[in-house]
């Protein structure tokens, strides 16, 4: 409806010639009615929505990251002629500086790359292996009855830098010195600490004091930096400069590896120079399933992505589009599907190099249909076991798309906040504790063994339908597969855009047994009592809680050549678009 602009009733009355009082009053009233009618007409086309922010839309590239600084670092590389892979590595390097509790060069990396020219997807598993000297017997002789959750015995070889090198060698257009420059510069000059990050930093201050080098690196004046405080990390700048000059060998065969190994020996660990020098990540074929016309991709084990796909297969047997977004019936079906898929994950998945894993069976629609029959629509299952087969944490996520349609879905992590808590002197980065996910149960496919990779929580994802491609991910330990499945459903079942689907209230169940489940309170008011009546034990969280992870997404419509970006309000991040070139 067209809006008609009128003078105010008072001004209009002043402009009228002298007239009888009644006539003047009627004209004032008529003018007021016209103004109100016009206002209501404009309201009729206003957007009433629960979505808090709009998608970022651009003909050029977009980088979505958990820090605006990291997203800008990636965009800067795009604007200097780099592609989505160059941008992703630049953003990741800066994320390791600005969110050191969650990621960094002391952690692992996984990525899915969409190459627009070939139309193919490529998976990268850059997760590190256990030291050759780290065995179940070694730990039990030291008095451990379960896998250490922190300290040097939880450290596996970090894979992130090797992952950067493989990404750049295969797809990149820029040199390491260019893509790492923003992180190096920012580490030297410093940056103001943001809200979410400051809270996590402060919560881990006592933990960091347990390691002298960690405290020296991350606790200026012996305390965690506050919101807005400038933090510098010259040691990390130096480490990144070594990598910029010498590539991955500077980390795995040079001074940095020697520093880490020496620190390990000093703390009674088993890391050796050979563990670093002989390590290499690998290119893998993504696994997939279909869901309501979409094809959804994850990486194969040793990651947990298979659980997201199995969960979607189970969910597909329920008419979620009919039961409604975040209704009790929809959430119940999703929660129960999660329990079933995660029980199978825990029982059957580990490092495929050490045992034959039943990936095909776990991904089959027939297996999902059998598992779905175990879901009682009226009752929560508090004790879920794995299906019968035929014989045979703390993390960051970012995504990028460039003007040509190349896309990257990248996730990188220290596992727990500040990982193992161990920093090698002078390096400026904490070593992750990814080995904590091994088990000392020798009968498990995830049992600790030398040069073996543990079952991994971090997973990048990708989905496509027709001309549309979406690179997405949602971090948060065991939250990830269940969050991925919910995100796909929000798009496929309920036609939400990539930003609305990211913001919509989610559930998460981080335990593997019991009926406990956490839920954001932005669901309809009747949902809580209805779920409790089915036996779910709910933990309600206000607003946008980081307990439910944080995600990013980029989308490309190849029919129009337009890119879209989304960033989760559960983090400090942003989706940042590339400016048009000055010389098109």
Find the catalytic residue in 330, 395, 427, 439: 395
Measured between alpha carbons, how far apart are the two ends of the chain, in Å?
Answer: 38
Count helices and strands in the chain by DSSP H and E runs: 23, 19
Are 114 and 462 a contacting pair, CB within 8 Å? yes
The Cα 139–Cα 242 span in angstroms is 34
Are 422 and 263 a contacting pair, CB within 8 Å? yes
DSSP letter (8 states) at residue 17: P
What token pair was written down for 307?
């659980």
Per the annotation, the verdict on 395 as an active-site residue is yes
The three-class DSSP label of residue 60 is coil
DSSP letter (8 states) at residue 421: S
What token pair was written down for 304?
């947990």
Nearest alpha carbon to residue 125 among 302, 282, 280, 353 = 282
The Cα 160–Cα 177 span in angstroms is 17
The Cα 231–Cα 333 span in angstroms is 45
Are 389 and 364 a contacting pair, CB within 8 Å? no
Q: How far is CA 46 from the centre of its chain?
A: 32
Nearest alpha carbon to residue 382 among 534, 543, 557 = 534
User: Which residues, other chains included, contact 369 with Cβ-Cβ below 8 Å and sequence gap of 6+?
Assistant: 317
- Please identify every residue annotated as catalytic: 395
């Amino acid at each position: 409806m067209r809006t008609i602009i009128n003078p105010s009733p008072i001004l209009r009355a002043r402009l009228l010639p002298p007239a009888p009082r009644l006539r003047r009053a009627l004209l004032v009233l008529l003018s007021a009615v016209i103004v109100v009618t016009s206002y209501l007409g404009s309201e009729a086309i206003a957007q009433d929505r629960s979505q808090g922010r709009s998608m970022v839309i651009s003909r050029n590239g977009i980088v979505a990251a958990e820090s605006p600084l990291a997203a800008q670092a990636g965009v800067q590389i795009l604007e200097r002629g780099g592609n989505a892979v160059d941008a992703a590595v630049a953003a990741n390097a800066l994320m390791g500086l600005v969110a050191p509790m969650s990621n960094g060069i002391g952690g692992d990396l996984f990525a899915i790359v969409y190459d627009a020219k070939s139309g193919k997807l490529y998976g990268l598993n850059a997760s590190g292996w256990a030291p050759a000297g780290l065995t179940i017997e070694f730990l039990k002789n030291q008095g451990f009855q379960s896998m250490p959750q922190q300290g040097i015995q939880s450290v596996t070889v970090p894979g992130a830098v090797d992952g950067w090198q493989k990404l750049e060698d295969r797809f990149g257009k820029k040199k390491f010195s260019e893509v790492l420059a923003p992180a190096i510069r920012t580490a030297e000059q410093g940056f103001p600490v943001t809200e979410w990050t400051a809270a996590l930093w402060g919560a881990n201050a006592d933990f960091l004091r347990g390691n002298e080098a960690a405290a020296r690196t991350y606790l200026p004046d012996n305390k965690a930096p506050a919101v807005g405080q400038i933090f510098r990390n010259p040691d990390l700048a130096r480490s990144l400069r070594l990598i910029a000059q010498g590539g991955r060998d500077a980390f795995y065969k040079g001074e940095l590896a020697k520093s880490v190994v020496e620190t390990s020996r000093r703390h009674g660990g088993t890391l050796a120079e050979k563990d670093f020098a002989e390590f290499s990540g690998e290119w893998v074929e993504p696994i997939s399933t279909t869901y309501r016309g979409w094809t959804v991709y994850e990486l194969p084990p040793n990651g947990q992505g298979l659980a997201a796909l199995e969960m979607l297969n189970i969910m597909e047997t329920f008419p979620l589009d009919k039961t409604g977004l975040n209704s009790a019936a929809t959430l119940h079906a999703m929660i129960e599907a999660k329990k079933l898929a995660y029980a199978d994950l825990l029982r059957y998945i580990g490092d495929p190099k050490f045992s034959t894993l039943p990936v095909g069976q776990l991904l089959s629609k027939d297996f999902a249909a059998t598992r779905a029959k175990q879901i009682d629509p009226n009752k929560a299952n508090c004790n879920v076991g794995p299906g019968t087969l035929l014989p045979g944490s703390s993390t960051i996520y970012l995504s990028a798309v460039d003007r040509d349609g190349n896309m990257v879905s990248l996730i990188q992590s220290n596992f727990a906040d500040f990982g193992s808590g161990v920093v090698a002197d002078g390096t400026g980065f904490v070593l992750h504790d990814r080995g904590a996910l091994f088990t000392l149960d020798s009968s498990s496919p995830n049992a600790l063994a030398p040069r073996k990779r543990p079952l991994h929580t971090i997973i990048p994802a990708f989905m496509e339908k027709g001309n549309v491609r979406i690179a997405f991910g949602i971090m948060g330990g065991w939250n990830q597969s269940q969050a991925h499945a919910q995100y796909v459903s929000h798009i496929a079942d309920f036609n939400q855009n990539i930003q609305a689907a990211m913001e919509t209230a989610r559930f998460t169940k981080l335990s593997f047994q019991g009926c406990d489940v956490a839920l954001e309170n932005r669901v309809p008011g009747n949902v809580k009592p209805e779920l409790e009546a089915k036996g779910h034990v709910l933990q309600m969280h206000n607003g946008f809680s980081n307990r439910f992870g944080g995600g990013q997404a980029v989308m490309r419509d190849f029919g129009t050549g337009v890119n879209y970006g989304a960033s989760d309000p559960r983090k400090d991040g942003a989706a940042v678009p590339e400016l048009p070139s000055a010389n098109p």
